[in-house]
């Protein structure tokens, strides 16, 4: 027996990565434009749901029945004795087409509702996320502002410090002026005229400040300082005058010497 060699057949791949060849269709698939067809069906469905459709349908049935009942017998096309069979078939055909058209329009409306609901849900989620973000930011700002000094608080504190500094400066100036006036009046070379001269100097300083023109913001402080200087000078002058009067009223150590010797000599002569 002679051994015959067989040619190897081409094996078809059976793996998942091998795509299957598409079978050829004997009848071509009819695939109209879904958008155009859907718009047409929706137009028909909308018209069937209007009062105009009911009026025209009623007129059509009345004309059909009247013509086939009272029209010439040779021109009648639907026998009234058979119960208007043709009219019944036409109405059944219209109803059989109306139901799919209404279902198709309803399906398209459901698709639109789903899209609008999805957009509304996405918009609501974005609004919720934005609201939560703003709420967190506002809460963070409130927490941060609890330890921050506000403008009114800072102004009040600065105003209080300003008033305290002005009061301290006034007191220090008053004390310095009084000390200087007292030192001038209690010095050996000072007398009552010096006090009057100091008062005049203070008045001259006040008039010189008025003539020279002080700063707009410091007019009140200069006037108060000058007034305090005048008051201190007057007090020092009064104290000096009181001391002078006390010195005149008290008897001096040499007051009894000459008068006593004079009186003793006069008594001896007598």
Report the pLDDT value the prediction gives residue 11, as an integer from 0 to 100. 52
Beta-carbon neighbour count of residue 265 at 10 Å?
A: 9
What are the pLDDT digits (tens) for 121-137? 999 999 999 999 999 99
User: Taking Cα atoms as reference points, which of 202, 241, 237, 252 lies closest to residue 223?
Assistant: 202
Q: Is the pLDDT of residue 139 over 70?
A: yes
Beta-carbon neighbour count of residue 237 at 10 Å?
A: 20
Mean residue pLDDT of the chain comes to 75
Contact 169, 225 (CB under 8 A): no
Contact 196, 237 (CB under 8 A): yes
User: What are the tokens at 109?
Assistant: 């409306």
Beta-carbon neighbour count of residue 62 at 10 Å?
A: 10
Query: How far is Cα 220 from Cα 252, in angstroms, rounded to an integer?
Result: 49
Report the pLDDT value the prediction gives residue 200, as an integer from 0 to 100. 55
Average pLDDT over residues 208-216: 49
Per-residue confidence band for 15, with pLDDT thresholds at 50, 70 and 90: low
Indicate the SS3 state at residue 118.
Answer: helix
User: Taking Cα atoms as reference points, which of 205, 189, 202 lies closest to residue 235?
Assistant: 202
Q: Please report, for the chain, the start and end positions of each structural domain, with discontinuous segments joined by +.
A: 34-115, 160-248
- The least confident of 16-25, 99-108, 136-145 is 16-25
Report the pLDDT value the prediction gives residue 52, as an integer from 0 to 100. 92
User: Cα angle at 192 between 189 and 198, to 5 degrees?
Assistant: 85
> What's the count of helices (H) and strands (E) in the chain, helices before strands?
7, 0
Burial of 38 (0-12, 13-18, 19+ CB in 10 A): middle
């Amino acid at each position: 027996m002679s051994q015959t060699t067989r040619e190897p057949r081409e094996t078809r791949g059976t793996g998942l990565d091998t795509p299957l060849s598409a079978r050829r269709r004997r009848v071509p698939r009819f695939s109209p434009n879904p958008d155009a067809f859907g718009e047409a069906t929706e137009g028909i469905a909308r018209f069937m749901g209007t009062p105009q459709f009911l009026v025209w349908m009623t007129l059509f049935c009345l004309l059909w029945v009247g013509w086939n009942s009272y029209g010439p017998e040779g021109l009648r096309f639907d026998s009234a004795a058979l119960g208007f069979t043709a009219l019944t078939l036409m109405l059944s055909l219209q109803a059989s087409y109306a139901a799919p058209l209404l279902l198709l329009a309803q399906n398209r409306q459901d698709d639109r509702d789903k899209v609008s609901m999805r957009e509304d849900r996405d918009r609501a989620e974005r609004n919720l996320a934005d609201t939560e973000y703003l709420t967190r930011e506002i809460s963070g700002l409130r927490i941060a502002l609890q330890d921050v000094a506000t403008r009114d608080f800072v102004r009040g504190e600065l105003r209080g410090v300003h008033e305290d500094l002005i009061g301290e400066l006034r007191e220090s100036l008053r004390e310095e002026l009084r000390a200087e006036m007292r030192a001038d009046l209690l010095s050996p070379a000072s007398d009552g005229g010096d006090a009057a001269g100091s008062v005049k100097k203070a008045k001259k300083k006040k008039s010189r400040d008025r003539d020279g023109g002080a700063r707009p913001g410091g007019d009140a402080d200069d006037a108060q300082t000058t007034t305090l200087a005048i008051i201190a000078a007057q007090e020092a002058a009064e104290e000096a005058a009181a001391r002078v009067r006390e010195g005149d009223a008290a008897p001096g150590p040499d007051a009894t010497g000459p008068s006593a010797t004079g009186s003793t000599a006069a008594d001896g002569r007598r």
